[in-house]
Amino acid sequence: MIYLIEQIYIALMLSSNYILIAVGFTLFFGAINIVHFSHGDVAMIGSFIGIILYTLADLSGIHRYLPPMIVNSCIVVLTLGLVGILGTFFERTVIKPFRFSPMLITLVATVALGIVIREFVRLFYPQGSNPQLFPKIFPQTAFQFGKLIFLHEHLIILGIGILLIAAMFLFINHTRIGLAIRAISQDIEAASLMGINFDIVIAITFLIGSILAGVAGILTGVYFNVVKFDIGLMAGIKGFSAAVVGGLGNFYGAILGGLLLGFAESFVSAFIPGGSPYKDVCAFTIVIFFLIFRPSGIVGEIKYKKV
């Protein structure tokens, strides 16, 4: 029983990771109909920025002046902000120019961008090819329920993630800009005719998506304790898979997909003997299965071809 609860906990952490990235994919696809293959790498950048900022804070001795909680909160906020800006920067430089080109080109462009990002980190970050230790940003205390131990740091970052997702949800559904985002995802031409500056709205979409990816990056760092330059590739593909499985373009789909994938992966690892090395295979097989038999995902709409 305890084992089960532990596994559920692990699954939840994994799922949140995927959800945070999947939401980005779904946002981007919904808004401008592209698949941002390097979105996972943006998350990876998030974790690295976290490390850098922490190291800087450490070196500058700022700890002498401010309580750790404030410093660390600043680090988190700054990381998210920087990731958001970087993500939007990537969109401006690599995705925007191909906005009206065939999808094939954007696809390859984002794949190439991912390569560039990964290599940049690998080459220019000191010891980039090796795993990096993620600093202890959050208090290292824990809950204890009988034999179960829940680390506070996990819960904090999880909480931040949930909060931001909820905030994003509210934002999209209850603000004017959110309305604009939804309008664009329906019909970009009509939206612009209505006076919506879709350029700016798209930039905001990427800002939001990238910030969430940043949270995923920090979550990974906190939970797994180490990060490496290539975790973005896998994370991105799995996040995308989660979005597709749930229903690309549908926000709830991203959540469902993330949960499905996260749970499938951790349960295969935990309950199927000898299954651990195959957990990734399991995730990908689920994706292929969905893509073939139900490409619109769990909650996606079935689109009819207009001929």
Closest CB 186 distance from another protein, rounded Å: 19
Is 112 a binding residue for another protein by CB under 8 A? The answer is: yes
CA distance 193 to 181: 14
Closest to 257 measured CA to CA, from 287, 278, 234, 232 = 287
Window of 84-92, 104-112, 161-169, 192-200 that interacts with another protein by CB under 8 A: 104-112
CA distance 294 to 247: 9
Is 64 a binding residue for another protein by CB under 8 A? The answer is: no
Is 237 a binding residue for another protein by CB under 8 A? The answer is: yes
CA distance 136 to 125: 20
* Of positions 233, 235, 254, 255, contacts another protein by CB under 8 A: 233
Is 180 a binding residue for another protein by CB under 8 A? The answer is: no
Window of 43-51, 117-125, 145-153, 252-260 that interacts with another protein by CB under 8 A: 117-125
Window 22 to 61, contacts with another protein (CB under 8 A): 35
* Of positions 12, 115, 177, 298, contacts another protein by CB under 8 A: 115
| Helices first, then strands: H and E counts in the chain | 11, 4
User: Which tokens sit at 171?
Assistant: 């934002």
Closest to 220 measured CA to CA, from 50, 34, 36 = 50
Is 111 a binding residue for another protein by CB under 8 A? The answer is: yes
* Of positions 70, 77, 148, 291, contacts another protein by CB under 8 A: 291
Cα torsion 39, 35, 277, 213 to 10°: value is: 30
Closest CB 244 distance from another protein, rounded Å: 7
Window of 83-91, 94-102, 134-142, 221-229 that interacts with another protein by CB under 8 A: 94-102
Is 101 a binding residue for another protein by CB under 8 A? The answer is: yes
Closest to 18 measured CA to CA, from 161, 227, 159 = 161
Window of 54-62, 70-78, 110-118, 182-190 that interacts with another protein by CB under 8 A: 110-118
Side-chain-side CA neighbours of residue 71 (13 Å): 20
Is 104 a binding residue for another protein by CB under 8 A? The answer is: yes
- For 209-245, b/e burial (b = at least 16 CB within 10 A) is bbbbbbbbbbbbbbbeeebbbbbbbebbbbbbbbbbb
Closest CB 7 distance from another protein, rounded Å: 21
Give whichever of 42 and 158 is closer to another protein, judged by the CB atom: 42
Cα torsion 70, 74, 77, 79 to 10°: value is: -140
Is 107 a binding residue for another protein by CB under 8 A? The answer is: yes
Binding site for another protein (CB under 8 A): 35, 94, 97-98, 101, 103-105, 107-109, 111-116, 119-120, 123, 233, 237, 240-241, 244, 277-278, 280-281, 284-285, 287-288, 291-292, 295, 305, 307
